[in-house]
Amino acid sequence: MNSLLSRRALLARTGLGIAVLAAAPLRAAAGAQVVVIGGGIIGASIAYHLAMAGARVTVLEAEKPAAGATMNSFAWLNAGNKRPRPYHMLNLLGMMGWHRLQSELGATALPVQWGGCVDWASDEADARRAAASVLAQQGWGYPIRSIEADEVTRLLPGITPGPIAGATFSDAEGTVNPVIATQALLRAAAARGAKIEYPVKVTGFESGDGRVSRVLTDKGAIAADAVVIAGGMGCQPLAAMLGAKVPLESTPGILAHSVSRPIALGRLAYGPGANIKQTADGGFVTGENFGVSKAPPTREVGEALLAKAASYVPAIRGAKLDFVTLGHRVLPKDSFPIVGHLPGSANAYVAAMHSGMTMAPLIGQLAAIEVLGGPKADLLTTFRPERFA
């Protein structure tokens, strides 16, 4: 499979171009059968873009769509503090990609809550670090600015932020319901002929001459011209079956979800010790600033998280805890995405990363181009699996 992609895909070669072009320029060779392992946001986005290109796609998911890290994600779409620049760009273009996906799928099928994020610090040293970071981000063209304390309460009316040593506002950021987004992409892929199969666990591969020919599952084997491993934490053992290293670590993250309340928070709020959002259906979601959660995900822990959030957002007071989630971040060993063909396998491709909610639209688009034999994306050069070989 030298090129499963038509010449027209060559149009979609450079960074910004890839993010803003509709997926339509891609065209797979007739009958190309691609198996995508994993029905999280990354597998769903890759499957969608492959299906848009005309590939025959089968998604194999061990549990159910979004069952892994995706379901437990805070899903803040941002590129702010992400460094170095190539990583920042993947995230920024990922954010832009959500706009593209909304225009392709429709904002009703794929709701994204735009409105930006207000971030404030009570500690002088934290505020100085944030102000320096704002300057660096502005230098990369990121839409973020330092704001005064009165603007914090103007942007987040009714909040009680406590002492403010410094604050920032990034108006291009947003958030998405990770499960709804995953389902929307899989539905759109299915509408273009993709088969979404679950529960089906991939147990191995049949390969020869450096190519996978069949994917083995607990329900039987399936022939493949190309295989995409988008199994979250499952990427490591799956790649190992093909003799490749995809080293992942995981850290736990707990989020508390409240029952629905009248809408009070029009954008993301990131205060000391609490990141807070309110979903479109009114539920508040909060965690501890993306730290590593050491406690078990009990109701007591969830109630403490909600109480902390309520100290900033009085509308949360009295909102009952609905449920608590414990998610395991898909953390590549050096913290950066691992994306590309596996060393030693001409037709097996991997995509494993943290911040996958932000990057999913771009990763889906670039991966589809590369899986179908199109040009290698410059944007992914420093994120290849070869760095661990």
Ligand X SMILES: Cc1cc2nc3c(=O)[nH]c(=O)nc-3n(C[C@H](O)[C@H](O)[C@H](O)COP(=O)(O)OP(=O)(O)OC[C@H]3O[C@@H](n4cnc5c(N)ncnc54)[C@H](O)[C@@H]3O)c2cc1C
Q: Report the nearest approach of ligand X to the CB of residue 17 (Å).
A: 23
Q: Report the nearest approach of ligand X to the CB of residue 107 (Å).
A: 20
Residue from 80, 97, 174, 234 in contact with ligand X (CB under 6 A): 234
Q: Report the nearest approach of ligand X to the CB of residue 117 (Å).
A: 10
Rounded to whole angstroms, how far apart are CA atoms 294 and 225? Answer: 43
Rounded to whole angstroms, how far apart are CA atoms 286 and 321? Answer: 11
> How does strand 226-229 pair with strand 33-37?
parallel
- The residue length of the chain stands at 389
In the chain, what's the furthest Cα-to-Cα distance? Answer: 65
Residue from 75, 96, 121, 212 in contact with ligand X (CB under 6 A): 75
Taking the CB of residue 123, how many other CB atoms lie within 10 A of it? 13
270 binds ligand X (CB under 6 A): no
Q: Report the nearest approach of ligand X to the CB of residue 324 (Å).
A: 11
- Beta carbon nearer to ligand X, 151 or 197: 197
DSSP state of 72: G
Q: How far is CA 362 from CA 235, 275, 300, 337, in A?
A: 19, 25, 38, 12
Which H/E stretch holds residue 20?
helix 15-20
Is residue 151 packed enough to be buried (19+ CB in 10 Å), middle (13-18) or exposed (0-12)?
middle
60 binds ligand X (CB under 6 A): yes
Q: Report the nearest approach of ligand X to the CB of residue 43 (Å).
A: 5
- Beta carbon nearer to ligand X, 9 or 79: 79
207 binds ligand X (CB under 6 A): no
* Residue 334, token pair as written in the block: 């050096």
Q: Which of residues 328-387 bind ligand X (CB under 6 A)?
A: 328-330, 353-358
- Beta carbon nearer to ligand X, 228 or 313: 228
Rounded to whole angstroms, how far apart are CA atoms 282 and 350? Answer: 36
49 binds ligand X (CB under 6 A): no
269 binds ligand X (CB under 6 A): no
- Beta carbon nearer to ligand X, 9 or 188: 188
> x/- site string to ligand X, residues 29 to 48, per CB under 6 A?
--------xxxxxxx-----
Residue from 18, 28, 57, 61 in contact with ligand X (CB under 6 A): 61
212 binds ligand X (CB under 6 A): no
Q: Report the nearest approach of ligand X to the CB of residue 354 (Å).
A: 5
Could you tell me how far CA 359 lies from the centroid of its own chain? 5
If you search the block for the tokens 């299906």, which residue do you land on?
Answer: 51
For residues 233 and 328, the answer to whether their CB atoms sit within 8 Å is: yes
72 binds ligand X (CB under 6 A): yes
- Beta carbon nearer to ligand X, 27 or 329: 329
Residue from 5, 12, 70, 371 in contact with ligand X (CB under 6 A): 70
For residues 146 and 131, the answer to whether their CB atoms sit within 8 Å is: yes
Stretch of 6-14, 68-76, 140-148, 316-324 contacting ligand X, by CB under 6 A: 68-76
Dihedral pair phi/psi, residue 322, rounded to 5°: -90, -60
For residues 192 and 105, the answer to whether their CB atoms sit within 8 Å is: no
Residues at the site binding ligand X, with contacts judged by CB under 6 A: 37-43, 60-63, 67-70, 72-76, 201-202, 230-232, 234, 238, 253, 255, 327-330, 353-358
